[in-house]
Structure 1
């Protein structure tokens, strides 16, 4: 295949220095134990779409927030064969921050406990060092249009940059002012955003293409367990005549990372054609479900079938559907919507689209 991903340097030394300055990382278990926000059941109705049979709304502040926009979704069912992490059934979503007064707060992930409906935001950060060699961190600026939680890794779609990966074991608490001071954030660049935990980026898989080939835009991301070797599936959001390709990268079972060759290059094992305005995808035994946005006021569409032969299910999901993820034991598909005052986590039976 003419497109590819190239592994960049691992940030292990920088992350080890962060751990030394902040204390022991707490991982997902620490986030679950310290969740401070609560979602609520949402009343079903036409606005939620014909296929939706379960929905949750964020708390009022997050539902109305004009700065943070939800994008990606995955779950502990992707992360573990037992479908639990830290003993809980969890969703994880991504959000990016829009610019306000010329500044942006970066992007974050949010862990949601499906049994208690409590949740917590975790800011993604770039580890670094200052002029004196002391560890620092700064927000990561990504659209974060999709996410896959596989084993200890969170893989995020980074559009033209490729894929960004973090280890959930690296999650650090930063609410303590002394910790913030040691990490060079005493001016409140992290804690003022309301984040009590941060997750450093560990590695980048940089997007590339052979000469004469258009580079791939990694707009969203999903885990495909249809084959013996699991894979990451990504696609391109597109309007007009822009490319709208779907691509599949095998995962190395030993590392839970995309499989690379001796030169550190990952190449896709398949490539197909999607549809316009794609926002997310799930794959189950060859069947693709693709979410399509129709703007902030019209309900979204789910397309089902195989690439190039998709059937449209109109009015299936709320307005502004984003990424998709599949929960095997319940045979359900989850999505997250992005627009203020119309933000939900929604669940649909996969069989509705067959």
Structure 2
């Protein structure tokens, strides 16, 4: 009887170790999603009053897309390159670095938004004290940068995050905040401001570091589990029912946990599906792939980008429960976030290295699993 008790106790200990959300060494690698918790914080209390104050300056998403003041070019491989001229150079600048990508195919099931088919890309400033997002019209490659802002009483300020990943969902824009969770911005409240170098209310003007438009933060999903989680990238799965987002961690090596977690969305409210104000992941997994920069799931398959320093980047094809297949050198150096467009089954990706910055569209049929 004592032997049976010992065996049963040992088995329970092994199961507990395998389910430890903060330890990826034991197998199996699946983890209990309920351990991964985001708590919705109260909506920004300053936003309604600021929206009233700036109501005459409110513009639509289509207005921003149609007001492009820069233009991407296309190389012989079909990759999109940022503008590089004598007066303006997004391709080589070190002040701003592209990070996340999402599209109108994420925003709405129809795949377009207010008649536009396009991308939104996040860029972090070199000091991580500001974020701009870029509205790119696929039709002609025209684009415009817009500043993300945090509403304060009677004003607004810059948003100090790395912005490693982004998801466009309805009239909301979800941007990861590396150590804290996910910030959500209101695309129904885009404001045209005065051109000036200040930030927020400056005398009788509104300025945004030289940008013409700003998008305010409306809410924040705070990471509230007892263990740390690194919000490095985020993606939307519109092939799931209900829609779901997946977040994941970049780590330089596998001596620390590297995990994915998936949360379900409520399309009627554009919020996480919650019990009260708390959302638990429906799925979580330890993934022993270092230097993951982006991941997106569609039709039960997961696509994972990996950077390799100065060498070309990889794209892993993975069906959970099976080994991951490395499509070596699939991307140019320094690939980042990924997004999926089920119209034609395409993956959108981007690269960050100065001089080699692209938006890349790939057919999923090229990916081996």
TM bucket (normalised to shorter chain) is 0.7 to 0.9
SS of residue paired to 1:62 = coil
The whole-number CA distance in structure 1 between the counterparts of 2:202 and 2:260 is 40
The answer on 1:40 being equivalent to 2:54 is no
Selected match of 2:216 from 181, 194, 200: 200
Shift of 1:91: 0.5
The answer on 1:184 being equivalent to 2:207 is no
Selected match of 1:86 from 109, 114, 122: 114
Shift of 1:182: 10
Structure 2 counterpart of 1:7: 40
Give yes or no for contact 1:245–1:272 (8 Å, CA) kept in 2: yes
CA separation of 1:141 and 1:70: change in aligned 2, threshold 3 A: same
Give yes or no for contact 1:18–1:183 (8 Å, CA) kept in 2: no
Shift of 1:237: 0.3
Deviations 1:44-97 (A, max 9, x none): 2xxxxxxxxx31000011111111110000000011111111211110110100
Structure 1 counterpart of 2:62: 29
Deviations 1:259-280 (A, max 9, x none): 1112x01110000122211111
If the length of structure 1 is used for normalisation, what is the TM-score? 0.88
SS of residue paired to 1:30 = helix
Structure with more relative contact order (C-alpha pairs < 8 Å, separation 6 or more): 1
The whole-number CA distance in structure 2 between the counterparts of 1:186 and 1:55 is 44
SS of residue paired to 1:293 = strand
Structure 2 counterpart of 1:303: 316
Give yes or no for contact 1:208–1:216 (8 Å, CA) kept in 2: no
Shift of 1:195: 1.2
Structure 2 counterpart of 1:48: none
- In structure 1, stretches of 5+ residues that fail to align are 45-53, 130-134
After TM superposition, the structure 1 stretch with the greater mean CA deviation from structure 2, 30-39 or 320-329, is: 30-39
The whole-number CA distance in structure 1 between the counterparts of 2:183 and 2:207 is 20
Selected match of 1:120 from 122, 144, 169: 144
Structure 1 counterpart of 2:17: none
Structure 2 counterpart of 1:269: 282
Shift of 1:225: 2.3
The whole-number CA distance in structure 2 between the counterparts of 1:343 and 1:182 is 28
Selected match of 2:159 from 129, 133, 140: 140
Structure 2 counterpart of 1:98: 126
Shift of 1:253: 2.4
The whole-number CA distance in structure 1 between the counterparts of 2:146 and 2:349 is 19
If the length of structure 2 is used for normalisation, what is the TM-score? 0.84
The answer on 1:342 being equivalent to 2:356 is yes
Structure 2 counterpart of 1:174: 193
**Matched pairs, number:** 328
CA separation of 1:183 and 1:97: change in aligned 2, threshold 3 A: closer
The whole-number CA distance in structure 1 between the counterparts of 2:204 and 2:332 is 39
After TM superposition, the structure 1 stretch with the greater mean CA deviation from structure 2, 17-26 or 316-325, is: 17-26
Larger Rg: 2
Structure 2 counterpart of 1:280: 294
The whole-number CA distance in structure 1 between the counterparts of 2:313 and 2:205 is 38
CA separation of 1:64 and 1:74: change in aligned 2, threshold 3 A: same
The answer on 1:247 being equivalent to 2:280 is no
After TM superposition, the structure 1 stretch with the greater mean CA deviation from structure 2, 13-22 or 343-352, is: 13-22
